Structure 1
Amino acid sequence: MAPIPTPPAEPQDSPDGYVGLENDRAERLARERGWSTVRSLAPGTIITMEYRVGRLNFEVREGRVTRAWKG
């Protein structure tokens, strides 16, 4: 029987720290801190609700992060 896979650990990083940053800077910083996927979205973008370990989502308005959340 195959072993049960262990999901990768998420960075110990608060999404709240990205709010207010310029989008490019926030994306670069998130990758430097270990997020494997960084997704920038316009307000109101329709997205699926599955949780992905290691993914950080940004809602971006006028080039700045207005909201950030894991998954």
Structure 2
Amino acid sequence: MGTQPTPRSPSDDTPDAYVGLDAGPAERIARERGWSPVRSLPPGSIITMEYMEGRLNFEVQDGTVLRCWKG
């Protein structure tokens, strides 16, 4: 699967574009697009719910991004 065009800033990026990608390349692409930090979590992880501007979260299972959200 090819990479999507790089948006001007993380706020222009669509989290759904990462779903289905391999986690490693997805994290690299997210960082290139300005996301910092990028957090990868296994399904069902217990996490704090504080919103962090500029953070991208991946739910990853078997090396594949299942879900992605901002904050």
The residue aligned with 2:12 is 12
Counterpart mapping for 1:44-55 below 5 A: 44-55=44-55
What is the RMSD of the two structures over their aligned residues, measured on CA atoms? Answer: 1.2
TM-score, length of structure 1 as denominator length: 0.85
- SS at the partner of 2:26? helix
Q: Can you list the C-alpha shifts for 1:29-65, whole angstroms capped at 9, x where unaligned?
A: 0000000110000001100000000000000011000
Matching of residues 54-65 of structure 1 within 5 Å: 54-65=54-65
- Gap runs ≥5 in structure 1: 1-8
Equivalent AA in structure 1 for residue 60 of structure 2:
V
Equivalent residues of 1:11, 1:35 under 8 A apart: no
Are the aligned partners of 2:10 and 2:33 in contact in 1 as well (CA < 8 Å)? no
Name the aligned partner's letter for residue 32 of structure 1.
E
Aligned identity (percent) is 67
* Aligned-residue offset at 1:10: 4.2
CA displacement at 1:11 relative to structure 2: 3.3
- Any unmatched runs of 5+ in structure 2? 1-8
